[in-house]
């Protein structure tokens, strides 16, 4: 089917939903189509626990938030962008409150501010430990009332249509009918999140396979800093617990990391101990596990806070752990680091502008310069909010000059339905295992080179599959995931130093001159 809209938003996380809302209010006479690969609820945003960082009271100030962000980013943040984004944090948070998000307050009615690794003061607004869920539900409730927003769930973007570096829309697979639609738009906005599913162990939901980054790369956009993949230190370790995060806010409330014999260890690694920046804590746990041969370490809150405090601050974590017979009010929680956040992505301005005309990228899929080589905790929901606001402001000013052009229908050629789904699942599993073992928290030149060699073999097989078999969501995801994995390895190989979340045992020192890595499709 040929579909014509004014603005095509791909993604229903905090950035896509907020953008739709802002656009709808700023230009109510324009049509907005928002598509989501799964249901509207399913996104990384939905699972966010800790909250949103914002200067909120007199104990804090903008300069402190900026310095914490720059320190975590380890020399690679763009300070101008950092200042612009953090400065508007309180305003963007107030907008969420006006929409109906009920951030947790303490007994005297003040907002209860949490603390996470790398923050020098308490500044994180949260809805207990279910902040993301509350934000997503509130945004959706507001969007449902608006006439000019059309929503399509289980529609998966396959590719952008770009000619001479101008984007005219996208090919989108409607999963139920298996039809590929041709959606023309004045502007196409990627709000597709990160690419965590390139790793075997991750905190993200299954749909996060780097689709936006891969589509933008194929279209000719510049990609940057993919090697900076942030591992969250504390993911629940249990054979049946899939990707469940134990929020860093728990360490902010006094929880301590211990080895399985009960010894604390973070003081050996950093003066901020358990609340050091995330890259340092994850590497410390990795080092402890390699030394001891154990499968996990413990996060102990039970010894430091009473049961009522734990249950009221962390109801989501408490309930989830109970499902696995772990009572966090009485015993320590087994945890391991897991892939969590892509600090790199498609090079974009604070307003989502990319090198490709009429293509915008916001949220985790973008690389704006806010996070540098390691994101400060709880700065990501904020980046999504600011990106959406700025992008909407830009788009609403001058969209009359945008070119709209219909483009050819999708050609299925002689593609046949696949009879061997196992080829897809096998490749998927192999790539994720390879990335975990060879391109994980601690890297080396030889492991990276081995990984690249293997990725080339996967790419050939996946390419054959893509061009010869009928498109389905799993295949789209596998193709994107393998592309982003390969780009990440190439970025990692080009960095001859250890910085932020990129740690290479063959290049332990930091180079004096901090530089971003860039990668672009050769033409």
Q: Kindly list the catalytic residues.
A: 278
487 makes contact with ligand FAD (CB under 6 A): no
Given 69, 225, 373, 380, the residue binding ligand FAD (CB under 6 A):
380
CA 132 to chain centre: 13
The 10 Å Cβ neighbour count of residue 273 is: 18
50 makes contact with ligand SIN (CB under 6 A): yes
Stretch that binds ligand FAD, among 95-103, 303-311, 316-324, 360-368 (CB under 6 A): 360-368
Hey, what are 171's tokens? Answer: 């090919």
Q: Which among ligand SIN, ligand FAD, none contacts residue 248 (Cβ within 5 to 8 A by kind)?
A: ligand SIN
378 makes contact with ligand SIN (CB under 6 A): yes
Q: Which among ligand SIN, ligand FAD, none contacts residue 11 (Cβ within 5 to 8 A by kind)?
A: ligand FAD
369 makes contact with ligand FAD (CB under 6 A): no
Supply the angle between the helices 473-494 and 211-219 in degrees, to the nearest 10. 70
Alpha-carbon gap, residue 428 to 426, rounded angstroms? 5
Here's the x/- map for ligand FAD, 238-257, by CB under 6 A: it reads as -------x------------
403 Cβ neighbours under 8 A, 6+ residues apart: 166, 168, 186, 357, 358
Helices (H), 301-379: 307-313, 315-323
Q: Indicate the SS3 state at residue 427.
A: helix
Cβ–Cβ under 8 Å, residues 66 and 38: no
Cβ–Cβ under 8 Å, residues 286 and 309: no
Nearest one of 164, 13, 120, 154 to 376, comparing CA atoms: 120
Here's the x/- map for ligand FAD, 3-32, by CB under 6 A: it reads as -------xxxxxxx----------------
Indicate the pairing of strand 7-10 with strand 187-190: parallel
Alpha-carbon gap, residue 420 to 430, rounded angstroms? 16
- The residue sitting closest to ligand SIN, measured at its beta carbon, is 50
Of 265 and 314, nearer to ligand FAD (C-beta) is 314
Given 86, 249, 359, 451, the residue binding ligand SIN (CB under 6 A):
249
Given 280, 333, 381, 392, the residue binding ligand FAD (CB under 6 A):
381
Q: Which among ligand FAD, ligand SIN, none contacts residue 294 (Cβ within 5 to 8 A by kind)?
A: none
247 makes contact with ligand SIN (CB under 6 A): yes
Cβ–Cβ under 8 Å, residues 198 and 176: no
Of 51 and 252, nearer to ligand FAD (C-beta) is 51
Stretch that binds ligand FAD, among 66-74, 205-213, 276-284, 318-326 (CB under 6 A): 205-213
Alpha-carbon gap, residue 94 to 84, rounded angstroms? 17
Alpha-carbon gap, residue 346 to 365, rounded angstroms? 6
Q: Indicate the SS3 state at residue 10.
A: strand
Hey, what are 314's tokens? Answer: 């962390």
Stretch that binds ligand SIN, among 135-143, 294-302, 304-312, 376-384 (CB under 6 A): 376-384
248 makes contact with ligand SIN (CB under 6 A): yes
202 makes contact with ligand SIN (CB under 6 A): no
Of 192 and 378, nearer to ligand SIN (C-beta) is 378
Q: Is 415 exposed, middle or buried (0-12, 13-18, 19+ CB in 10 A)?
A: middle
Given 73, 117, 118, 193, the residue binding ligand FAD (CB under 6 A):
193
Min separation Cβ 50 and ligand SIN, Å: 3
380 makes contact with ligand SIN (CB under 6 A): yes
486 makes contact with ligand SIN (CB under 6 A): no
Cβ–Cβ under 8 Å, residues 296 and 289: yes
Of 207 and 439, nearer to ligand FAD (C-beta) is 207
Nearest one of 47, 38, 13 to 143, comparing CA atoms: 13
Nearest one of 9, 6, 43, 358 to 151, comparing CA atoms: 9
Binding site for ligand SIN (CB under 6 A): 49-50, 247-249, 377-378, 380
Binding site for ligand FAD (CB under 6 A): 10-16, 35-38, 42-45, 47-51, 131-132, 156-157, 191-193, 203-204, 207-208, 211, 245, 341, 363-365, 378-381, 384
């Amino acid at each position: 089917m040929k579909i014509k809209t004014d603005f095509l938003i791909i993604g229903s996380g905090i950035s896509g939903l907020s953008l739709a809302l802002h656009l709808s209010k700023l230009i109510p006479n324009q049509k907005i189509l928002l598509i989501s690969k799964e249901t509207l609820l399913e996104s990384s945003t939905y699972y966010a626990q800790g909250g949103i960082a914002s200067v909120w009271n007199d104990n804090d100030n903008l300069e402190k938030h900026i310095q914490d962000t720059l320190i975590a980013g380890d020399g690679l943040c763009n300070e101008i962008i950092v200042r612009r984004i953090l400065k508007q944090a309180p305003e963007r948070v107030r907008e969420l409150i006006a929409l109906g998000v009920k951030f947790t307050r303490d007994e005297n009615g003040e907002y209860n501010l949490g603390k996470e690794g790398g923050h020098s003061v308490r500044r994180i607004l949260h809805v207990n430990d279910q902040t993301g869920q509350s934000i997503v539900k509130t945004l959706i409730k507001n969007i449902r009332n608006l006439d000019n927003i059309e929503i399509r769930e289980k529609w998966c973007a396959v590719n952008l249509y770009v000619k001479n570096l101008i984007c005219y829309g996208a090919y989108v697979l409607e999963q139920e009918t298996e039809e590929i639609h041709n959606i023309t738009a004045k502007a196409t906005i990627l709000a597709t999140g990160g690419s965590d599913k390139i790793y075997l162990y991750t905190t993200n939901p299954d749909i996060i396979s780097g689709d936006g980054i891969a589509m933008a790369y194929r279209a000719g956009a510049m990609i940057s800093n993919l090697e900076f993949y942030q591992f969250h230190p504390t993911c629940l370790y249990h054979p049946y617990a899939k990707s469940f995060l134990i929020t860093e806010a728990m360490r902010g409330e006094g929880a301590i990391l211990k080895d399985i014999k009960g010894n604390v260890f973070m003081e050996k690694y950093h003066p901020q101990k358990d609340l050091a920046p995330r890259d340092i804590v994850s590497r410390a746990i990795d080092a402890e596990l390699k030394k001891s041969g154990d499968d996990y370490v413990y996060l102990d809150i039970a010894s430091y806070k009473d049961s009522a405090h734990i249950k009221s601050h962390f109801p989501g974590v408490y309930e989830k752990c109970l499902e696995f017979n772990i009572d966090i009010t009485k015993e320590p929680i087994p945890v391991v680091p897991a892939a969590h956040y892509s600090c790199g992505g498609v090079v974009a301005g604070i307003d989502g502008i990319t090198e490709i005309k009429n293509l915008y990228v916001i949220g985790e899929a973008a690389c704006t310069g806010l996070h540098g080589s390691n994101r400060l905790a709880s700065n990501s929901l904020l980046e999504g909010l600011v990106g959406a606001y700025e992008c909407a402001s830009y788009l609403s000013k001058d969209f009359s000059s945008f070119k709209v052009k219909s483009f050819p229908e999708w050609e299925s050629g002689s593609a046949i339905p696949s009879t061997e789904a196992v080829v897809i699942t096998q490749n998927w599993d192999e790539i994720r295992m390879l990335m975990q073992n060879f391109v994980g928290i601690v890297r080396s030149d030889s492991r990276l080179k081995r990984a690249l060699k293997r990725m080339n073999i996967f790419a050939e097989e996946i390419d054959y599959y893509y061009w010869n078999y009928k498109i389905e969501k799993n295949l789209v995801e596998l193709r994107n995931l393998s592309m982003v994995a390969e780009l990440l390895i190439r970025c990692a190989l080009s960095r001859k130093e250890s910085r932020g979340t990129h740690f290479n045992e063959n290049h332990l020192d930091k180079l004096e001159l901090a530089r971003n890595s860039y990668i672009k499709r050769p033409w």
